Structures are given as structure tokens and as C-alpha cells.
Amino acid sequence: MNEKDGRVELKLESGHTVTAGHAVIATNSPIHDLVALHTKQAPYRTYAMGFEIETGKLDDALYWDTQDPYHYVRLTSGEDGKDIVIVGGEDHKTGEADDADARFAALTSWAKTLIPDLGPERYRWSGQVMDTLDYCGFIGREAGSKRVLVSTGDSGQGITHGVVASLLIPDLILGRENEFAAVYDPDRKPIKAASTYVSENITAVKNFAEYLAPGELSSIDELKPGQGAIVRPGISKIAAYRTEKGEVIEKSAACTHLGCHLHWNSFEECWDCPCHGSHFAPDGSVLNAPAIGPLADVEASS
Ligand code: FES
């Protein structure tokens, strides 16, 4: 993507070029910026469950605590006179744990203690949030750019931030005043966040050291159906996955964004990148930005 002659020029994978007055990058995690914004936000895996409850047993509100990891409760309508209580939280930095069952057990226990009328579990899932240094989204003109705007860093408040972006970005493009521009400015310098900045960026430093460590399994033969693991048959690390039919898929363990070392996520069955939150399917295809390309092929080792 280039800015020239008062236009933005985007080159597509198909080989076509699109030019426009402005470009808005709203890909959850920005795909055009290799470094700057990624050092100011960090990916967290978050868990959620849905439990039945008799309608009227819990007031419709958003509840949350201040523990670390935190928890929240929301209510939504279900079927047959029942509501669904959504209980979420138990977040951890992406790729730094692979213990979803323990996270769901902790959520269940927390919810049962606080909501005596909680009914049976109906749903469970996980997702990823991009937390900024001050938990306020980055919505606005990219630093140093006149014509490229971004919306990212939802910090678990995607619906609110989506509404903000829908109001703020048109104003910025059309040159209208908006009192929230400074609050969400992607180039703002959050006060009192320096220590958080340092600790969030240690992830990448720690991560590259993992390339020196041995693999998680001594041989691909140890992989069970449906399992993924890092193996090291030679000098390179391989992200290996065995399908339910027994076929083994071997890909490079290096994220195609900036090369961080991937971790297997056994609950979602995908490869997670702890550095900036890219996800890849077992076959290496990219599922989540900022990476845009699939994992590299490796020569099969078995
Ligand atoms: Fe940036 Fe993987 S997401 S290195």
C-alpha cells in the first residue's frame, strides 16, 4: 500500500491495483503495519460459556469483577422461557497456556458461587482480544499518514469500539471536528503505561529464544490423531499435526508475520502466535491477522 499524488494505492494479491482517497484498515489486528501498532497492543486468549437460567432470575446487566484474570457476566435471551447467562474471562496471553479445560472449570466454579440459580451449561467457546496499553482502542489516522486510517485494539469492547469507529472515521475523512479524536488517536502516548509497554514486548524476546529449545515431542510418530506439536527433526522447528485419519501435516513453526515461534492451541485446534496474535489452521492457512500468508512448507520428515 502506497500513498501518492493525494491517493492511496493498494496492490491486491490478484495483481490488480485499487486507488482510493482513503483506506481504512479494520482487520482486527492491522495487516499493513509490521511493527509500530503491534508494540502497543497484545493478544489475549479469552474464554466464555453459556448457561441456562430461568427468565427473571438474574437482572439484565453487565457484571464484572476486578480480579486478574477477570470475569464478567452478561444475559441474553434463550428459548422456552429460559435466558442464557454468558460467563467469560480467565484470559491469558495468547499462546502462553494450553489449558482450556482448567479455564472453563474456573469459570464454572466462579459463576456457580455467585449465581445460585445457574442452570446447565449449553455453550463454550474461546476467542482472542487485542488489549492496548490503556484498554482504549486505536481508532483514527495512522501516525504519519494523511489517508490511511485504522481501527484496532478493541480490548474486549468490540461493539463499543465498532460504534466509535463508525462515527469517528467518517468525521476524520471528511475533515469534521470530533471530540473523541484525541482519546482514540492511534499515535497517543498513554500515561503511566511504560512498565506495561516493556512487559508486553518481552513476549517477542522470550519467544525467539524458543527456537533454541528442543521440540515438544522427540518424534512425529508420537503425535496422536487431532494433536499438534512442535518437533525438531533437524535444525528447524516444525509445526506438525496429525489428522483424525492419521495423515501428518508438517509446516514451518515460524509465523509469517515477523517470524515468532508458534504454539499449538488444542481447544481451537490451530497454531497461535504469542507475539501479535496471528492464528493458522493445521494445514498452515492463515486464520487471523496480522499475518496474511500461509505457513511455509517443509520437507516431510516422516
Ligand atoms: Fe507477529 Fe506472529 S503475529 S510474529
pLDDT at 144 over 90: no
77 Cα to the center of ligand 1, angstroms:
38
Helix (H, G, I), strand (E, B) or coil at 78: coil
Choose which residue among 201, 205, 258 to substitute to test ligand 1 binding: the one with the highest number of ligand atoms within 8 A of its C-beta.
Answer: 258
pLDDT at 194 over 70: no
User: What is the pLDDT confidence band of residue 206, given thresholds at 50, 70 and 90?
Assistant: confident
Average pLDDT on 219-229 reads: 92
Atom of ligand 1 nearest to the CA of 259: 4
- Tens of pLDDT, residue by residue over 76-89, are 998 888 999 999 99
CB distance 290 to ligand 1 below 6 Å: yes
* Helix residue ranges per DSSP H, 175-257: 181-184, 194-209
Cα separation of 7 and 287, whole Å? 30
Beta-sheet strands, E only, within 78-207: 82-93, 121-132, 138-141, 148-152
Torsion of CA 284, 286, 291, 295, to 10 degrees: 10
- Tens of pLDDT, residue by residue over 91-109, are 999 999 999 999 999 999 9
Q: What is the pTM of this model?
A: 0.88
Pairing of strands 270-272, 279-280: antiparallel
Mean pLDDT of the chain: 91
Cα separation of 72 and 89, whole Å? 6
H/E segment holding residue 250: strand 248-252
Sheet with 7-11, edge to edge strand ranges? 2-4, 7-11, 17-20
Pick the residue whose CA is nearest to atom 3 on ligand 1: 276
